Homo-oligomer: A and B are copies of this chain.
């Protein structure tokens, strides 16, 4: 069956990258449709009327939204190279930690990035506390998925994409190699993986982008 797979995303979004990495891992051909979030396309508004956000995977004309939902859809639809573990308990753990990443860890990291002074210190401390849970998950493993990249590696891809960018811009330290040797090694293993590295957003553009999105927050504070 001829599959038509389109991914609505931006060049930089880690949530969009989750989707294209998953499709690449499954060996599927797809087209990227780059969105300008300041001027959203009719296609995006039509396919994601609830959130009006990227990424959207459009499979033979049918839209699927929310990146973790999309990863499950991809894994349910194409059985080769499974993303989620097969064991129900391991699957539950992968889902639990992916959700923790989005709901808890990321907001704590953002609160260290978008602030200054005492608020920033507190954000960084909370983020480091959250990262300690993640460090433990990697004990004895190269990837969260074990020997190979899986669902949880893709779910945590944003850590590799953005943390060092945020650290550089906000002059904070979240992941130092002594406290987090396993996460540090994972970031290196993940970002240099043949399936992953080609689509890696260029560091200079990321720095520029994240400086620009941080700036209004600091102005509000001043």
Contacts and interface: CB of A to CB of B under 8 A. Distances in A.
Interface string A86-98: 0011011001100
Interface in A18-76: 50, 59, 62, 64-66, 69-70, 72-73, 76
Given A69-B99, A99-B66, A133 B92 contact: no
A69 B96 contact: yes
A77 interface: yes
A50 B95 contact: no
A217 interface: no
Given A64-B96, A66-B96, A96-B65, A73 B91 contact: yes
A88 B76 contact: yes
Contacts of A100: 50
A89 B64 contact: yes
B50 A69 contact: no
A77 B92 CA distance: 10
Nearest to A89: B62
12 contacts: A50-B100, A62-B89, A64-B89, A64-B96, A65-B96, A69-B92, A72-B91, A72-B92, A73-B88, A73-B89, A76-B91, A76-B92
| Pairs A-B, 10 closest by C-beta atoms | A76-B88, A73-B92, A77-B88, A69-B95, A64-B92, A69-B96, A69-B92, A66-B96, A73-B88, A76-B91
Interface of A: 50, 59, 62, 64-66, 69-70, 72-73, 76-77, 88-89, 91-92, 95-96, 99-100, 104, 133
Given A66-B96, A72-B91, A73-B92, 11 more contacts: A64-B89, A64-B92, A64-B96, A65-B96, A66-B95, A69-B99, A72-B92, A73-B88, A73-B89, A76-B88, A76-B91
